[in-house]
Every structure is written in C-alpha cells, then in structure tokens.
Amino acid sequence: MKKSTQNNIFFSVLLSIFSISVHAQVGIGTTTPEGMLDLESSSSGFVFPNVALTARNRTSPVKNPNGGTVAEGTAVYNTSTTQTGANDVYPGIYVWDGNKWIAQYIKEDSQKFEQSPLEYRVPLSGGHRAIPGLGNQDFIPKYSGTYRIEANFNFGAGEIKDPTGSNSVRMGTQEGYIKLRFDGVNYNIYTHAYSIKNDLINGGTDYEAFRHDSSLILYEDLKAGQAYPFLLTVDVQVAGEFNTDAYVGIDLPCTVEFTFLEE
C-alpha cells in the first residue's frame, strides 16, 4: 500500500511538471524566455515559411491548417515575382491583413538618365534633334504601380548678330521646344533664352549662354518588367537673328528621372 501511494505521488508530480511546461513560455537558445516564444542566437536567424504567392489579394497557396480563412497576421516569405500589372508580388516578407498581403519592406525604384556630353549645340535648322544620352532609351520598372517621371532641361540662345551702328546694343530671344516622347506619346514644352551683344562697354561684350531652366512632371501607371521607350529632343524655333547654334545642357545636364511612388 505504501508503494502504491509513492507511485501516485510520483506520477502526480510528473503531471504537474508537464502541465507547467505546456502552459509556460518557450525559450530556444535561452533558459529565461521573456515572452510566449523567445528565440535567441548570436549566429542564426529565424526562417519564415517560404511560399510562392500568386497575387497580393489571394491567399493561395497559404492555408489555415484548422480550416477556414487564413488568419490575420499570418506571415510568410514570398519567393515568387509576378508581372501582371495588378496586385503583383515580389520576393520578401508579407503579412496577411484579412484582405491582402502587406509587404514588410520598403519598395524603392529610381533611375536617372543624363545628357552626355554637356553644352550640346542645337542647329538653327533641321527640326527636332535628340539630346545626347537621352535618345532612344528604355526604362524598365522594377515594380507595377505609379511612377513619377521628371524631365529637367536647360536652354541657351547662342550668339546674336552684331548691333547695327556703333555704340549700340542688340538683344534677342531664341525660342525652342523640348519634346519628351514617352511610350509613344509626345509632350511638348516651350522654352526660350536671351542673348545680348553691345558695343558700349569695354569695347564690346556679348552674352550668349544665359541658361533658362524648365521641367516637365508626369505620373504614369507602369507595369513591372516592361520596357518603356522614351526620347528627349529639342528644336530651335526662332533663328533669324543669331549667328551661332543654341545650347542645351549649360553647366548642368538635361535629365529624365523615374521614381516609384505606390502600387
């Protein structure tokens, strides 16, 4: 009888210990867990379940093991890339919010195309000419969504003809048009610059490269992985009063920059 009582006590103690271990915090790499699950390591990381998501608004292939809908807060590491143009996913950690997968990383994509070399001389006739470095380029977005497209350019008039008569001044305006052709659509921007020549000061002076800065900003919905062609050109509109060609890219290059904003 005494032995039976001892066995009962022993099994009661084991049951109590097991019960405590089930309901207590779990520590991996630590004997003093500070939460329900505490992972500690100086050389290893936590690996999320790897899945190949098909879209941001679809749970597949993730399932709730108890049946029903996928629980909010479910976290996975997505290994796939989609390029449908809507609800695309890219490699990285995602959390399900009940309606869609939310990326747990910052999506950044920016690329700037620059004129090279500087001080391109625009002929006084001949129509639109491609600005060096900005002709027949392609931009391929990393993500599907809205991009900000900013074209920056500057224009100089060139040398105006000599004044008529001595001790006189001549000033003129050179006009031009910058054209951004993006994905088959033309965007025209008027620009102008001044030139001056005088016979009054220090035996005569002239200024032909007053820089006039202009810009164009577009917001376009682009699709990841698709090549979008673009071209930046310039044409001189008023040339009768000038001796030399106009300028593009005075000290600073003309640029076309693409920046991802949002899905």
Domains of the chain in start order, with CATH, are 110-262 (2.60.120.760)
pLDDT at position 25: 84
pLDDT at position 13: 47
pLDDT at position 103: 96
Distance of alpha carbon 245 from the chain centroid = 36
d(C-alpha 97, C-alpha 106), whole Å: 17
d(C-alpha 144, C-alpha 222), whole Å: 6
Instruction: Compute how many other C-beta atoms are within 10 angstroms of the C-beta atom of residue 195.
Output: 25
Instruction: Compute how many other C-beta atoms are within 10 angstroms of the C-beta atom of residue 149.
Output: 21
Q: Give φ, ψ of 97 to 5 degrees.
A: -105, 10
The residue among 96, 214, 197, 88 whose CA lies nearest residue 141 is 88
pLDDT at position 167: 76
pLDDT at position 202: 64
Q: Give φ, ψ of 95 to 5 degrees.
A: -125, 135
pLDDT at position 231: 97
Write the DSSP symbol of residue 163.
P
Residue 14 three-state SS:
helix
Instruction: Compute how many other C-beta atoms are within 10 angstroms of the C-beta atom of residue 240.
Output: 7
pLDDT at position 76: 98
Q: What is the pLDDT along the chain (263 residues), one digit of tens a residue?
A: 455 555 555 555 445 444 444 556 888 888 888 888 888 999 999 899 999 999 999 999 999 999 999 999 999 999 999 999 989 999 999 999 999 999 999 999 999 999 999 999 998 888 899 999 999 999 999 999 999 999 999 999 998 888 887 778 888 889 989 999 999 999 998 999 999 888 776 666 788 888 999 999 999 999 999 999 999 999 998 767 888 899 999 999 999 999 999 98
Q: 97 in the Ramachandran plot: left (φ > 0), alpha (ψ -120 to 50) or beta?
A: alpha
Q: 88 in the Ramachandran plot: left (φ > 0), alpha (ψ -120 to 50) or beta?
A: beta
pLDDT at position 120: 95
pLDDT at position 8: 56
